[in-house]
Amino acid sequence: MPAYARPPAYARLVLRIIDARSGEPVDAAPARRGLTRVEVHAPGFDTTSLRVLLVADLLVRALELGGTPVWALLTGGRRQAELRAEATALGIRPFEDSPDVSAGLGEAQVIHVAVEGGTATDGVRIAVAPAHIDGAPAHPENPGTPDDTGTGIDPGVLRLALLARHHSAPARLDAAAFDEARGTLARWRGAVARWARRPSRPVPDEVRGRLRDAWEDDLDVPGVLDVLHHVETEPGLPDGARFETYAYADRLLGLDLTRDLGSPS
Instruction: Please tell me which of 4-13, 126-135, 248-257 the model is most confident about, judged by mean pLDDT.
Output: 248-257
Specify the pairing of strand 96-97 against strand 70-76.
parallel
pLDDT in tens, 124-173: 999 999 999 987 544 444 433 444 454 568 999 999 999 999 999 999 99
Confidence check: pLDDT of 6 > 50: no
Residue 145 is assigned to a structural domain of this protein: yes
Burial 54-79 (b: 16+ CB within 10 A, else e): bbbbbbbbbbeeeebebbbbbbbeeb
For residue 182, what pLDDT band results from cuts at 50, 70 and 90?
very high
pLDDT in tens, 27-79: 988 767 788 999 999 988 899 999 999 999 999 999 999 999 999 999 877 78
Residue 194 is assigned to a structural domain of this protein: no
Q: How many domains does the structure of the chain reveal? A: 1
Residue 226 is assigned to a structural domain of this protein: no
The residue range of the domain holding 82 is 8-153
**Does this model's pTM top 0.85?**
yes
Provide the sign of the torsion angle of the four alpha carbons 29, 72, 58, 260, taken in this order.
positive
Residue 211 is assigned to a structural domain of this protein: no
Residue 247 is assigned to a structural domain of this protein: no
Residue 193 is assigned to a structural domain of this protein: no
CB 125 within 8 A of CB 114: yes
Instruction: Please tell me which of 104-108, 133-137, 153-157, 248-252 the model is most confident about, judged by mean pLDDT.
Output: 248-252
For residue 14, what pLDDT band results from cuts at 50, 70 and 90?
confident
pLDDT value, residue 7:
39
Say how far apart CA 169 and CA 175 lie, in whole Å: 19
Residue 185 is assigned to a structural domain of this protein: no
Residue 140 is assigned to a structural domain of this protein: yes
